[in-house]
Structure 1
């Protein structure tokens, strides 16, 4: 069994190199990358009944910008949402989002729909990542928000977790422990990878 301190160090080292790779991929990507991801996500979710709830995220730094994806899904009749950090160590909450919704800074200074917007429970999540592997595991920033959120949602209903990133963010193996929740799909500008059970 891997020592927790060793695993933490390995994850931190992987994060540092993954941030640099993602920044390079984001700088090189054009509008066609956004369109390709939008098309793939829309195709994956096409069979979901409307108004199924799809949660995205407001991009930070060089994260893949899913706002065009959410705008497309909003026009297609989905209920879209963005995450809200309630507190450290807790799962994310989600508030309804449309392009017209007023935004505010919430926990950790992240933009989210204003407090008056209704809370919703996602049927699908678009999940940001620093790195991913073909087993469906992702490396995030280390706070565990998405792992706790997926664990909670999966206890109460079926939910589809779709990691969104650039193809250059793929690594052979993401360092992980028993708390890391796998994704169901990874979508990049070049492919949609279904994770088999």
Structure 2
């Protein structure tokens, strides 16, 4: 992966990671419930057969309440799995409380025998975002590679998922950066252009 021409991305990642980590556990749980209530209608409008979430770590907004809501609607859920450092993510079937194993960087993912699935909606973790729905991730590029591949092969809806405090006013945006379709926070749903 090439070095970003925007060194301020590293500083922004650090700042937002620290802010996110400082959210008290009870406030994080409340934020996760409110964000799920914001995200649920947007996802249901798309009538998805399958929604990919993520296993929260490092202070990420936990999508577990959203998973429970979607599962109650009978929607197939999935989690990503890293197959190789330079490859797009794979998605495997999963359900709330389902078996997971520690994968790349200790991120929990479905067991290898879980069925491969193709999501219609991907809930994307991030470190920073702006009102145009650009995101900065952790820097490994897994979601960038995945979303680029799926844009060609299978149109998916993308929903960023974060605490409102992760919003940034002056996001460094590179030519290859593609905006998400929307971002859900505990304070509401953000769509590009308002």
Q: Same fold (TM over 0.5)?
A: yes
Structure 1's consecutive aligned runs of 4 or more residues displaced over 6 angstroms after TM superposition are none
Task: Describe how 1:87-126 pairs up with structure 2 within 5 A.
Answer: 87-126=84-123
CA distance in 1, matches of 2:169, 2:192: 15
Which position in structure 2 is the counterpart of 1:62? 59
Q: How does 1:127-146 map to 2 (within 5 A)?
A: 127-146=124-143
The Cα shift of 1:55 comes to 0.4
1:85 to 70, 82, 85: 82
SS at match of 2:174: coil
RMSD: 1.9
Q: Is the deviation greater in 89-98 or in 172-181?
A: 172-181
The answer to whether the Cα contact below 8 Å between 1:124 and 1:160 also exists between their aligned partners in 2 is: yes
Gap runs ≥5 in structure 1: none
2:8 alignment counterpart: 10
When normalised by structure 2's length, the TM-score is: 0.91
CA distance in 1, matches of 2:74, 2:193: 29
Structure-2 change in CA distance of 1:6 and 1:58 (3 Å):
closer
